Chains A and B, each alone.
Chain A
Amino acid sequence: MQFDTRSLWIYLHFPRLQLDLIEAADTQCEHSNREKPLPRAIVNIATNSLQQLNQAALDNGLNFNMGLASASLTCSNLSLHEYSPEIESNHIVNIANSLYLFTCDIVLAPPNAILLRAQNMLNLYGGLQGYWRVVKQVLTKQQVHFVAASSYSVQAAKVLALNHKHLMSDDRSKIQFHLEQCSLSFSDIDSKDLQKLARIGIKTYAELCELPLTELANRVSRFSMSVINELQGKQAARVTFYQPKPHYHDYLELLYEISLSTKLLPVIGLSLDKLSEFLCLRNAHCLSIKIHFFQREHKPHEHQFSSIRPLYKSSDWLDIISLKLESVKFESPVYALSLICEKYELAEIANDDMFAQKSTHLGALTLLSRLQSKLGSKSINHINFTQDFRPEEITKSSGIDALAKKNTHSHMYIFADRPGLLLPVPQRLQLKVHVIKGPERIQTGWWDDKPINRDYYIGQSEDGQQVWIFKTPAKEWFLHGYFI
């Protein structure tokens, strides 16, 4: 999409995103019982150099781009993590999601940057300062370090931010002043062209501006030329705005491996809190969520957790999950988990009586969800009536998902004197009874493969037990039910 060259853009650069993520998870899980944070660094394996360092590591004399060997010599208790662009790219989506609530035009610049088009938000928030305060609050809540710069072109904002100029202004001359001091090396200009420019003594933006455009055009490629035009605000950048995905996906890497399912619950709780926030903002709730548990040595476990009643609260979900996890055993420790909610539905506004909730439908659905998640859906059934003469065919059980289904029979013919309990398979009669009613002949079922031909009687034993018995044409007696 092409945009005018008069919009104000804000470039957010996150210089130590992965480190921030790890430290945030660390403080949440351990409540930082240590007085001093440990030195921690992110290593880029490809270049074998330190890429992100926390303050403790810097205090210990470590530097960016230091080799791994010299780093470990300098600081013995350094904890290292491998740099992964995917983790950062995933996380900027999360940041974008939280920003999306306050600002509309967001452009993702993976792995560690986000662009905001501030222009059309200025009226809403009453100027740049008001807008920036809101954005800053969101970012502080995310516990990430960031460098931000504003400018009237995407490219210029990027160069400013990457040069670590904290600049938040809509004053063109001020922006121009800071931009002139910036090195060109962080812009999108082709590295070959950068070298060519360096050879003729052009390293900063100010030096670039002194050269006439025609001169420049002879020296650099067409691509670099368009970047330079963007930088000078003569050409608009082509960007695609971010739109939040309709489904929810969250991936969480654990700080240490866990094999006990009960220990996993607090971690799942954190993830569920995020889901709950996501659903709450959309006034939605969901019926099922999927969690993948990634195991160190084995294939990931996939579990589907479903509820009969739509839920959004993390505590409700945690309740269901904890019941089901009781019966789950992991083959090897879990190192990460992902939570997926593919479908959610908008919550209907129901004016429930607050005090009647105890006995309403809602309570029943909550109960059934609980039972189902602990015992498995096969253990809990409804009973349906089928119009048939054969006792075995009358009762059909069905899963409780069919709760809403109504009995379609407009009128049911029910015989009196039917026993409450039926033996699944009739057994030979061993009880001494005398007949108190009968016979009642049931001879039917010729249309399918289960014909019966029986004479039913009601029998009563000396102890007062009433049973339903039948006689086959071969004069054999069977017990089929108890009158409870």
Chain B
Amino acid sequence: MIAEFGLAALWLAAALAALQLVAAWLGQRPGGETLALLVRPAAVTQALLCGVAFVMLLWVFARTDLSVLLVAENSHSEKPLIYKIAGAWGNHEGSMLLWVTIMAVAGGLIALIEHRLPEKTMLATLGAQAFVGLGFYAFLLFASNPFARLFPVPAEGQGMNPLLQDIGLAMHPPTLYCGYVGLSIAFSFAVGALLTRNVTPEFAKVMRPWVMGAWMFLTVGITAGSYWAYYELGWGGWWFWDPVENASLMPWLAATALFHSASVLASRDALRTWTVMLGVVAFSMSMIGTFLVRSGILTSVHAFAVDPTRGTFILALLAINIGGALALFAARAGTIAEGERFAALSREGALVINNVALSAVLGIVLLGTLYPLVTEAFSVRVSVGPPYFNPVSAIFVFPMLAVLAVGPLLRWRRDRLERIKGPLIAIGAAGIVVLLAAWLMAGIALLQLLGLALAAVVAVSAFMPLRGRSLKRLPLPVWGMAIAHFGIAVALFGMSVDSAFTVEKLTAADVGQSINVGPWQVRLTAVEPVAGPNWTALSGRLSASYKGGPAHELVPMSRTFWAPPQTTSESALLTRWNGQLYTVIGGGTADGRWQLRLWWKPFVTCIWLGGLLIALGGFLALVGRVAADVRRRVATRKIAVRRAEVATA
């Protein structure tokens, strides 16, 4: 019954989306005012129904109701409850339902709270949101029904990929999806603004918090995904340029460009056309990412099912949504009046460079990701990895970071370099000092060297905009900017130091033997069997001491799951303020030794710390904007009440 209830809620939600679309369309016409009144309630109800459907799915997973096909295929009764619930979105159908639910909830929210734009534009926006939503409802209901029943009911489920049985899974996809799908709001606003020819600073102001929120979730999602891959996959790497990672990086790049250009539009009424285009591009990147991941074109832990129908379906959705929006853009771009002008040396000028560089990197990542698919059409199999992505994107990222150091110091409209001579010298000096210091240490490649110098430049410059201002009265968004930019410096520092100074040791050790890796001495004290709820493992006991200090124990494992039967390596990590010791145990050798792989990774944690700082910056900016909006609303309401009082008196 639960499953049927969920399915019914989903069908109703789809019907409401159709109603929302039709009402928004007809509501624009003369005499359609009554229909237009339906749009907002429809959006809100649709969000509630989707929420109900999603809760029903969680419920069947929590109960391990094996008469539901999806549960039988992906779950198992002997699994911790948290993974049963997380398992609801650890598969194709469930994750698509999560996608649609977030999309409906976001649409419901703008319907509920957004009243700043002209109603006509809002109607078009909500109509666009319903249109995109309908496509995904159709995909769910016709090609990936999460509530399909299974008969006869099997005695036990097939279990879940052990790689996915991790607390990371509970958080990673929902976070990333909030980011992906949150960008659909920017897409709908852009389409709404184009349809009603209403590209104004107000439009940018309304769109900006949504982009910022989605971007923040993407940042957290990418950071968490990177850390998860780092400790779960046991290779000691934190970014693999895997197509699936690129699929999340591309919307992030587009969203980063978008909220920077939206801030130009909001503050200065410039870059109108560009901002609208980025609004379309950002969500297009989310959809392309979904297509790459979900179509089965790529095989990885993320590709749940290889099913050509689904791939074709998503491709069709992609073509309709992106093609439609770009065609609309092409038709209307000429009618958007040119915005305010600015000099090359100005805040706007710096932000233009930021946007162009981000778009270039986006293009590079997109080409690198699609290239293997293209060559495959000609029966040539290639894979594209770090030797392509690292240097080629660095060519654009590094100059962009140099501009990042200067841009926030510049004034809007027009500025002179002499005015900011002092800070510029300080920033440049920091860069040169670090560059020389790093260069004097032997064995650092050019990329790491430049990375370290730029990290110093960006770190010093991040807080320059705060100088001479009262820290108490500084608006939150400015704090957010400083912290996010500082986060970039921290992450870049971590990346550069990790790739320049990591020490690795691979060996087969006897029990009792000591191994030196960097400043650490690691002793294998024992190897013993362990049993978990649904796995057994061989665990190595390691005793590690840093420069002869006290010993810490690490217990890396090699786990064997029995449903489905599979072995995974569980790395063990020891975190110090200045880095991480990363240990992996492999199998035994014929002569009774054990394979050990140890890394000392100095300051590697800075990578994720930086990622979180970037997200925190976004969060502060978001809170600042929302608080300002709330204050404005309260003030308007007070004025309205006052007026009414005056009128009645």
Query: Is this pair of chains taken from one and the same complex?
Result: no
